[in-house]
Structure 1
Amino acid sequence: MTGKHTGTRPPTSKDVAALAGVSQSTVSFVINGKSVVSEATRKRVEEAMRKLNYQPNAGARTLKTNKTNIIALFVEMNETFDANETTPYIDAVVKLARKHDYDVIINTTHEGSMALRRLAGKSICDAFILMDIQRNDERIPTAAELNTPVVLVGRPDNALGLDVVDFDAREAAYLAVDELADTGHRHIAMVGNTLGSNGDEFRFSNEFFSGAHERADQRGLDFIIVPRLVEGWEGIRRSTDQLLQHVDDRLGIIVRQPQPTEWLLRALSERGLVPGRDLSVVSHCSDLSATSFQWPVTNVSTRPEEVSNQAMTVLFDRLHGSTAAPHCDLIEPTGITRRATTIDWNTR
């Protein structure tokens, strides 16, 4: 390689070509993903770009390739938003996008299909990932009409031919109940949705609750779902009496998501109860969250990185021209991790 960019001006494709020992047209081919360039040459050019911190002109690249190298991620964020639950999904999407030289813009508005139409109409992104998919999500008909790859994270009742990636919440519920059954518990109380909310709105929530009830019946355990009277910490605090009605008879509590898990542990602490000594707690949350609490919590991981990685893999397949049949990929739980909040009554 010969030549090296010096000085304060931004590096150009000519500087990259000189450092890599190739022509400027070859640099252009690499930037635009043309297959006429050998793998060895492509690596030389990419190494030169890295050394010079060269950034291709996005506007010029868009004109040449009709691509923006931007993915739009739609994710729900509001006053009840649980950052510990959602952030791992976002981080995984952004990291994988950068590996493919894509950037991510995050849309958190509540405009639904209107925001989708607006972004698509501006032609500022090459593909969409829609999270927090409801069973009858009003964005889906609009998404299905776009001439742009779209992946849904969450299963609707009708995906209208769009690709879907989701987590198998029913299997996760089976694992949570089996953990308590196998360790000699007699009663299971599950922290439910807020009273008056639509429990069928999201398929994963409905399947987790119904799966837990089904498995408890199969294993012969007494089972109750305790709804929260109001949102937030107050909802957990006011539900604690009902959750603990069998605390003296081998009780296990199952809870979804990091924030309600934290609130439950706080409510138990206020009553002088220690999970793993007085009762058991099993959470459906990420491993990172499970190990961050006052007591490391036994959990079935939501596997956020794997869900996002699969969604991005499907998306890039479409961006690269795949015409395969629509995906409906279920990410399976890998098991349950027993931590400090499980009592094994069989050994007592």
Structure 2
Amino acid sequence: MATASDVAKLAGVSQSTVSYVMSGTRTISPETRARVEAAMRELSYHPNAGARALAGSRTNVLGLVTRFTATTEVGALLPFIDTITGYCRERDYDVVLVTADEGPAGLERLAGRAIVDGIVLMDIRRDDDRVATARELDVPVALIGIPDDSAGLDCVDFDVQAAGNLAVEELVAAGSSRIVLIGEAPEVRAQGFGFVHQFADAVQDAALRAGLRCDTFEPSAEGWVGFGAFGGLVADIRADRAGIVARTPQAIDMTMQILLSDGVTPGREVPLVGLCPDDTAEAFRIPVTNVSPEPRDVSRLAMATLFSRLGGSDAPREVLLVAPRLTRRATTAATSD
């Protein structure tokens, strides 16, 4: 079966030019278009989801590309998926969820075969090999997350710096003498997600401005296997009235379980702030003071940006940040009032 790559070779053009001819999204010279169409006829090439075989037509499908790995916190991902699919349903669009880590080839497959009208790309690493491809596709792409090189891209995320500031300010108000940041296991650090490092830096910087020491506990591995060593720190944390910042729901849960098993009540003796959505914070045995990364607001802004591109917007591509929000609950309320 012929592919777009075969058409490109026979016509003497790039594969992206073949995509442009099929989608009609860019002006192609009559001579080039004729060569591509002749090659398609000769090879009996019929693009998948032929809804874009005629210039200007749409599939009414968007691609949502997110990685599922052993370290993926599915609960944190669900608000994004739910909001994105709901936004699309309201506009008579379907969503193709792509979870395999196929790198640039996965994006080229979605765009090159005319499967989707646009792509939402999640789980952005600092040096993400998909970014260069995203810039060159003939369909609009919105990133949820910010790579180190964001030039020429529509990127949306929560303000990680502000989130770190809010967490530390709340712990300072709760009377903390120092800050303990629950860090990441080696498997997570190695993946190079920008927001992970940015949040840690933000907490460290905010503690420094407040004149407090900030220590980081880094689990030796994912899950309880690597987190058990935290129990050895509890006595000093309690004695110092140190405040704890935990970045993920799993880290919040394990921290609270160890504190409680040692007879330490979060909020009464040790203040704790977690980075998680509100519904997660409220579901813990002791409701957790949280800084919400506002996943639904981030998702809606990313979708609004993508649909504006589908509508023909040529506004400059930029990074858009959603303000995080702190809600005080039991894990700091007793010490902050």
**TM-score (normalised: structure 2):** 0.81
State the shift of 1:273 in Å.
2.1
Which of 255, 258, 261 is residue 264 of structure 1 equivalent to? 255
5 Å matches for 1:269-348? 269-334=260-325, 336-342=326-332, 344-345=334-335
SS of equivalent residue, structure 2 residue 200 = helix
5 Å matches for 1:127-142? 127-142=118-133
State the shift of 1:279 in Å.
0.9
Which of 178, 184, 187 is residue 175 of structure 2 equivalent to? 184
State the shift of 1:59 in Å.
6.9
SS of equivalent residue, structure 2 residue 133 = helix
State the shift of 1:244 in Å.
5.1
Which of 130, 134, 144 is residue 143 of structure 1 equivalent to? 134
Partner AA of 1:311 in structure 2: A
Over aligned residues, Cα RMSD in angstroms?
2.1
Distance 1:244 1:197 in 2: 27
State the shift of 1:269 in Å.
2.4
Larger Rg: 1
Change in CA separation of 1:121 and 1:196 when aligned onto 2, cut-off 3 Å: closer
- 2:79 alignment partner in structure 1: 88
- 1:115 alignment partner in structure 2: 106
Partner AA of 1:133 in structure 2: I
Change in CA separation of 1:60 and 1:192 when aligned onto 2, cut-off 3 Å: closer
5 Å matches for 1:140-179? 140-179=131-170
Which of 223, 239, 246 is residue 248 of structure 1 equivalent to? 239
Q: Please say if residues 298 and 338 of structure 1, whose CA atoms lie closer than 8 Å, have aligned partners that are also in contact.
A: yes
State the shift of 1:220 in Å.
1.7
1:210 aligns with 2:201: yes
5 Å matches for 1:29-68? 66-68=57-59
Partner AA of 1:207 in structure 2: Q
The list of structure 1 runs, each at least 4 consecutive aligned residues, that deviate by more than 3 angstroms after superposition, is 58-65, 195-200, 343-347
Q: Please say if residues 190 and 253 of structure 1, whose CA atoms lie closer than 8 Å, have aligned partners that are also in contact.
A: yes
Partner AA of 2:319 in structure 1: C
Q: Please say if residues 62 and 95 of structure 2, whose CA atoms lie closer than 8 Å, have aligned partners that are also in contact.
A: yes
State the shift of 1:343 in Å.
5.3
> Which string of whole-angstrom CA distances, capped at 9 and with x for unpartnered residues, describes residues 57-103 of structure 1?
x9779868521000000112112211111110111101101111111
Q: Please say if residues 282 and 342 of structure 1, whose CA atoms lie closer than 8 Å, have aligned partners that are also in contact.
A: yes
Change in CA separation of 1:326 and 1:215 when aligned onto 2, cut-off 3 Å: same
- 2:45 alignment partner in structure 1: none
- 1:226 alignment partner in structure 2: 217
State the shift of 1:278 in Å.
2.2
Task: Report how many residues are paired.
Answer: 289
Q: Which moved more, 1:87-96 or 1:239-248?
A: 239-248
Unaligned runs of 5+ in 1: 1-57
State the shift of 1:159 in Å.
2.5
**TM-score (normalised: structure 1):** 0.78
> Which string of whole-angstrom CA distances, capped at 9 and with x for unpartnered residues, describes residues 160-192 of structure 1?
411111111111110000001112111211100
> Which string of whole-angstrom CA distances, capped at 9 and with x for unpartnered residues, describes residues 25-59 of structure 1?
xxxxxxxxxxxxxxxxxxxxxxxxxxxxxxxxx97
SS of equivalent residue, structure 2 residue 240 = coil
Structure with higher helix content: 2
SS of equivalent residue, structure 1 residue 245 = helix
SS of equivalent residue, structure 2 residue 195 = helix
Distance 2:51 2:269 in 1: 65
